[in-house]
Amino acid sequence: MNNLYLILEDGTVFTGKPFGYKADVTAEVVFTTGMTGYLETLTDPSYRGQIVVQTFPLIGNYGVIPGDFESAKIHASGYVVKEWCAAPSNFRSEGDISALLKRKKIPGLYGIDTRALTKIIREHGVMNGRIASDPKSVDLDEIKAYRVENSVAGASVKKAYAVKPDKVLYKTALLDFGLKENIVRELVKRGCAVTVFPHDTKPEEILSRKFDGIMLSNGPGDPADNAGVIENLKKLAASGTPIFGICLGHQLLALSAGFKTGKLKYGHRGANQPVKDLATGRVYITSQNHGYAVLSDTIDPRIGTEAFRNVNDGTCEGVDYKGVPVFSAQFHPEGCGGPQDTGFLFDRFVENMKKGIEN
């Protein structure tokens, strides 16, 4: 079997073996620390334009389970693991990880020192890289110049669709910036009839349909790139309709309030991020996937307050807005397969919708 290479923008070369689809690709190289949930990671639209490195050494041991996918596509540009399992064992499995990558045309690289690669990213910060069959043909300046563009537009649905529970209690609009399907499942489980809208849907269209609440999904890329969406959210937030934003939705909501966001050195990706509830002092272990954060010192106390904080680096993990039933979280309360300890935030959103109906 021929070698396959990962070349970082600083010229560092890792030599491994190919699996999945055979192709060369350039993208941002990021790592995720989850021990499980590799299927959810691969199908999470937030990884659009990124080569994902798994720090856990063995990936694919429970195979491919379509029922666990967060979307129909693999959004990551490439996949890097220490070792992949060719003989998975799980009663729900429908194949192995290499066959899935090949079918979805995603190149994979295995057999490198993923610990060494992760340490480089942690110390240097996020870097671009290229998976290539011939390292001599790689242009480092071209790798450095790579940037994810139109990420939200590329990840969002093009046409609205609806999902309903057996018994409808609430009508919820969900703006899709690159959503994980488990957000829809969590809402439906709580009696919400969910209408999923494209990311650039005009606020007038949503408000005219008298939804009980508005959900803002996760998604990929730099939140500041979405000027049109940010302007739309200003109108939605001022409407008095209950709003709950997750991950990118949290960041976009903050930008619409006049706060600022910034890029993290290497991001938070995995299922073991400790987050402190500043109101109670309780710490939750959360699932996360983001490279940007709301800057705490830009939060105007007249408009909102920081609600959650990352215990590791002190970054903002949530905001409560004053005078309106609006709040957001940087982490994933719907996380699978990861901690679901913060699922109560969906209950809080439902309670806000209930109060709105009663009033």
| Residues classed as catalytic | 247, 332, 334
- CB-based contacts of 45: which residues, under 8 Å, 6+ apart? 70, 71, 73, 75, 155, 178, 179, 180, 218, 219, 220
- Reading the block at residue 13, the tokens are 């070369």
Report strand pairing: 316-321 vs 326-329.
antiparallel
- Reading the block at residue 133, the tokens are 């069959």
- Reading the block at residue 354, the tokens are 């209930």
- Reading the block at residue 321, the tokens are 């807005």
CB atoms within 10 A of CB 2: 8
Coil, strand or helix: which one is 16? strand
Q: How far apart are CA 260 and CA 245, in angstroms?
A: 16
CB atoms within 10 A of CB 58: 13
Long-range contacts of 306-312, Cβ-Cβ distance < 8 Å, separation of 24 or more: 306/278, 307/277, 307/278, 307/279, 308/275, 308/276, 308/277, 308/278, 309/275, 309/276, 309/278, 310/268, 310/273, 310/274, 310/275, 310/276, 311/274, 311/275, 311/276, 311/283, 312/273, 312/274
